[in-house]
Structure 1
Amino acid sequence: MNLLISALADLVLPLVIYYGLRSAGIGEVPALLACAVVPVARVGYGLVARRRVDPVAVFVLAMVLVSLVLFLVSGSPRALLARDGWLMAACGAAALVTLWRRPVVFTLGRMLLARSGHSAADWDDRWRCSASFRRVWRVLTLAWGVALIVFAAVKVVMAYTLPVDVVPAVTTAMWIGAVVLLNVGSQLYLRLPGIRHVVG
């Protein structure tokens, strides 16, 4: 539930803010800047209410600040629009970096297993002992990392080529589609007979 609320805050709320302001006659740049309120509010909420910082929100906030700097340098609202693309590229690159240790898809899967009330000790044992088990999670992490970088490149191109008012809706839909596609692809891969036998 918390993950769903977070996703709605990060994806849907900025969209509502942008198009709500545009329909009220607010200019492109002020409307785009107003969308930055969402990650700022999330970081503030984490600090005040929960007395901790959400690393994802901080990362998004950092990308917002980078996009603001690019906007101040270029004077173009498209620098603000490209923010999501750079964010996605950074996520993809970070996923690829984890290939040299414990792949992020393995770490996330293990975390979900532990949260569901099951012991993750078996996964730790198989990670240490089974090359096939390690390969499954490295393949999935590689696929996620490369796909995110490819999607990011497309989003940045769209940010600089499509009409400004079209970009927020199209890129948000693309982000949701990318996550759904990657999740479905991952589940299909894990259900292949040879792979299912490895992961148990």
Structure 2
Amino acid sequence: MQHNGMSGILRGLGWDLGLPLVTYYGLHAAGASDTTALLAGTAGAALRMVWMAVRSRTLSPFSMVMAAVFGVGLLFTVLTGDPRFLIIKHSAMAAAIGLTFLVTALHGGRPLTLAAQQSFQPGKAGDLAEAYATDPDVRRGHRLASLVWGGGLLTEAAIRVVLVYLLPIEMMVGVSTALTVVTFAILIGWNARYLATHRPAPATAAALA
């Protein structure tokens, strides 16, 4: 991705991961229960999502998915009293996004990677769409990237669900965040290596970057 687009993704990811993590461990150290600390972290992430939507005056499909996942995780936690659902919600989000990557790669007219690139570079949205429509290498690269990202996110989601029932919650909160960081690092590294190895033409590089 272009530097500005990638920087925006990494900043947003840092806030989305860091805010709940700091809130949880801060409150837990102060004596709060796992459920209370996780609920506070989830509430902080939800408030940030609302603030971003108000600031941009838009509510993206991704934001609506996140809101639904937050709500389901909160509902199951309240009904069952099991705070693990507030961690599993991250797997639900990863799985939803991963499936979207796969579906748009296999059956959609516009892979999610292209939609994401256009949202981060609105001024070049038309050029990116034209490159995708006219250049087979661009289409192949987007579809392959969507398949890899989709598979990677689904794998992350499955691993988290298994680990959440094997590890103590206090440990799992940090492991869950680390799992997301490692997954994104691997996927971004793969993307960079793919571009470097295939040395795409400028139009292809712009569409995949």
1:101-116 matches, within 5 Å, as: 101-112=109-120, 114=121
User: Which residue of 154, 170, 178 maps to 1:165?
Assistant: 170
For the pair 1:16 / 2:43, whether they are aligned, the reply is: no
- Structure 2, unaligned runs of 5 or more: 1-6
Say if 1:125 and 1:61 are closer, same or farther in 2 by CA, change over 3 A.
closer
Counterpart CA distance in 2 for 1:63 and 1:20 is 24
**Against the structure 1 CA distance between its residues 67 and 120, is the aligned structure 2 distance closer, same or farther, given a 3 Å change threshold?**
closer
Q: Which residue of 2 aligns with 1:145?
A: 150
1:25 alignment partner, SS class: coil
Map of 2:76 onto structure 1: 70
**Which AA in structure 2 matches 1:80?**
L
Could you state the TM-score of these two structures normalised by the residue count of structure 1? 0.85
Tell me, yes or no, if the aligned pair for 1:43 and 1:53 is still in contact at 8 Å.
no
Instruction: For structure 1, list consecutive stretches of 5 or more residues without a partner in the other structure.
Output: none
Stretch of structure 1 that moved more, 141-150 or 98-107? 98-107
Match of 1:183 in 2: 188
Corresponding residue number in structure 2 for 1:133: 138
One-letter amino acid of the structure 1 residue matched with residue 114 of structure 2: F
What CA deviation, in whole Å up to 9, does each residue of 1:12-56 have, x standing for no partner?
010010001110111111111111212321243245555433554
Q: What is the CA distance between 1:109 and its match in structure 2?
A: 3.1
Equivalent residue, structure 1, for 2:3 = none
**8 A contact 1:39–1:61 mirrored in 2:** no
Deviations 1:77-107 (A, max 9, x none): 2122211111111110111121222111123
Q: Amino acid of the residue matched to residue 177 of structure 2? A: T
Higher alpha-carbon deviation: 134-143 or 93-102: 93-102
CA distance in 2, matches of 1:16, 1:165: 12
TM-fit CA distance, 1:146:
0.8
Residue of structure 1 aligned with 2:91, choices 57, 62, 85: 85
Aligned-partner Cα distance in 1 for 2:143–2:8: 27
In structure 2, the residue corresponding to 1:181 is in which secondary structure?
A: helix
Question: Whole-Å Cα distance in 2 between the matches of residues 47 and 151 of structure 1?
Answer: 27
Task: Using the TM superposition, give the Cα deviation of residue 5 of structure 1 relative to its aligned residue in structure 2, in angstroms.
Answer: 3.9
Indicate the residue corresponding to 1:41 in structure 2: 47
* C-alpha distance 40-132 of structure 1, shift in aligned 2 (>3 A): closer
- Kindly indicate whether the alpha-carbon contact (under 8 Å) linking 1:17 and 1:31 is maintained by their aligned counterparts in 2: yes
**Conserved in 2, the CA contact under 8 Å of 1:21 and 1:31?**
yes
Instruction: Count the aligned residue pairs.
Output: 196
Q: Distance in 2 between matches of 1:2 and 1:188?
A: 21
Distance 1:110 1:53 in 2: 16
CA contact (8 A) 2:46 2:70 kept: no
Give the match for residue 6 of structure 1. 12
The reply on whether 1:199 has 2:207 as its aligned counterpart is no
How many percent of aligned residue pairs carry the same amino acid?
A: 30
TM-score (norm 2): 0.82
Q: Which amino acid aligns with 1:109?
A: Q
Aligned equivalent of 1:30: 36
For the aligned residue pairs, the C-alpha RMSD in angstroms reads 2.3
- Aligned-pair distance for 1:141? 0.4
